[in-house]
Every structure is written in structure tokens, then in C-alpha cells.
Amino acid sequence: MCGIAGYSLGPESAVERTVAARALLTGIAERGADAVGYAYRTPNARIAMHKQRSGATALLERIRVPEDVSQLLVHVRDYTKGHPSLVANNHPIRHGAVVGVHNGIIQNDDELFARHQIERAEAGMTVDSEIIFALAEVSRGRTAAALAQLYGSMATAWLDEGRPELVVARGLGRPLWLGMGKHELVFASTRLGLELVESYAGIRLRKSELPDGTVIAVEHGKIVAKDSFHVDRSFQEDPLPAVRAPDEARSCRERLATMHVAAA
């Protein structure tokens, strides 16, 4: 189990970018502590990325998102495949021009790499999530068909340096909440992540869960395209505990509150 979160903001949004990023990280901190990271699209369309082997608490105060940024991805990892000692296995994951985050397990990743004759982005990478972003890069314009090839569980999001949108998708067996504001779209693995953004960024969000088998493209805080894809419901895995890193969650909440008071 991992946690993913992020946002797309319109040019009129007054949300403080770093404040919202910290709130989202705090909201998903309980879902993993093997690694943590974030990425955002810079004004020149390049994607900046930082990740480290730690829980969320060690990154919280270090997050800095420029105020001219409108798209963000955040991730906490509870690893299954792809040992976190290799940095490339940790999220956000870059494959070519695509940088993404994933919560879940893809069981047929090796098969799909071989079938499509796609090389791993870096030698030694074994993380199953990479196949999502590899397919995203080679299947531009056919995203739903690419996602339908995956066998496993999935909530995911990515940015593509060759395209302007933020893509968010939910397959099978992983939560994904959307929060819609006047000029904002925020997503997170937990409803709490959205509630913390409301509290600390001072906005109101209409909250809903993204349905299974749904992919959306988001620009400037608005959904600009939506599609559905087939999910293979024969996939089964053992039930996962809702909380993997309770100490990280508690510590982040305390630090976030302290930083907010200090900044007031």
C-alpha cells in the first residue's frame, strides 16, 4: 500500500502551493514510510522531482513548491516490488517524458515490458509501477486502452513533458478521492488529505471518489477529458490495513499545525 496525492490549479487560484503540498503529504503520511517524494511541472514544462528514503515527516518542512507552479504529484511508499535502496524504484517514477505516482500492485508488468519491447528507464529497476508510465508515453491519445492492459490494483497519476494535462486514473482496489474547488482540482488516497487542504489552504472542495475504471485529464483545475477502461476483476489480493505508518501521520499533523501557527 502507498499513498498518492496532488493538484491542478487554475491561474486564478490563490492557494499557496507549498502549503497545499504539505497538507496533502500529511494527509497520506499514514500509508507508507519506505520512501517519499514529490514532483511538479515548471513553467518551461520540465518536471522537477525530489525523492528520498524516509517517511513523510523528514520531508514535510523541506517541501518547496514555487508559486508559479500549477501541477503537483506527491507520494509515500510502502514497497512491494522494487527495493527502495535503488532510488529509481521510488516514486515519483520517471520513464522518458512521463513522471508519475502509483498506489497498488501490477502483476503483469514484466510481461508487458516484453510484449511492447520497452526497456526499463534505468538499469536494475524492478518496480512494477514503471509499466504504467512506460505505456503512458507510448500510448498518447490511447490512454484508456493502455490502462486496460494492466492486471492488478491501481490508483495513479502522471505528468507528461510532451503534453499539458495532469492525468489521474483509478483501476481496481485502491481509493482515490477528488476535491473540486472553484479554480482547483485536488486528489488524494485519503479524504483526510482533501480536508487538510481545505483547512490550511482556505478553500472549499466538493469531494467524491473517482469510480473504478475511470481516467481523467485535468488542466488549470478543470476536467477537460474523461474516459473509462476495462478492469479485470478476477484480480484478488489479501486485505490491507488502512494505516501503515501511524507515527508518521501523527508527527506530520503536529508539525503542520506548528508551521501554520508560526507563519500566521
pLDDT band at 141 (very low <50, low <70, confident <90, very high): confident
Q: Quick one: average pLDDT of 204-214?
A: 98
pLDDT band at 140 (very low <50, low <70, confident <90, very high): confident
Backbone phi, psi, residue 239, to 5°: -60, 140
pLDDT tens-digit readout, 12-57? 999 999 999 999 999 999 999 999 999 999 988 899 999 999 999 9
- Taking the CA atoms of residue 243, residue 245, residue 251 and residue 257 in that order, the dihedral angle to the nearest 10 degrees is -40
Q: What is the CATH number of domain 3-263?
A: 3.60.20.10
**The pLDDT value given to residue 211:** 98
**The pLDDT value given to residue 251:** 97
Grouping H, G, I as helix, E, B as strand and the rest as coil, residue 179 is strand
Q: Which three cell numbers stand for residue 150?
A: 494492466
The set of long-range contacts for 207-213, using a CB threshold of 8 Å and a minimum separation of 24, is 207/177, 207/178, 207/179, 208/177, 208/178, 208/180, 209/175, 209/176, 209/177, 209/178, 210/155, 210/168, 210/169, 210/170, 210/176, 210/177, 210/178, 211/170, 212/170, 212/171, 212/172, 213/170, 213/171, 213/172
Provide the greatest CA pair distance for the chain: 55
Q: Which three cell numbers stand for residue 141?
A: 491519445
